[in-house]
């Protein structure tokens, strides 16, 4: 369960980041810079 919670937290952060940068969310998952 802990991994799932961490993943959901990371997903929420990714969504916030995507809103700020106006980029597709999955781009950061497949191409981490």
* pTM of the model as a whole: 0.39
pLDDT value, residue 16: 81
Reading the block at residue 29, the tokens are 């998952």
Spatial neighbors of 25 by CB under 8 A, at least 6 apart, are 14, 15, 18
pLDDT value, residue 29: 60
The pLDDT profile of the chain, 33 residues, written as one tens digit per residue, is 455 566 677 778 878 877 777 666 566 665 555
Is-contact 28 15, C-beta < 8 A? Answer: no
pLDDT value, residue 24: 62
pLDDT value, residue 2: 58
pLDDT value, residue 5: 60
């Amino acid at each position: 369960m802990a991994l799932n919670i961490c993943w959901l937290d990371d997903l929420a952060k990714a969504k916030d980041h995507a809103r700020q940068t106006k980029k597709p969310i999955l781009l950061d998952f497949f191409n981490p810079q």
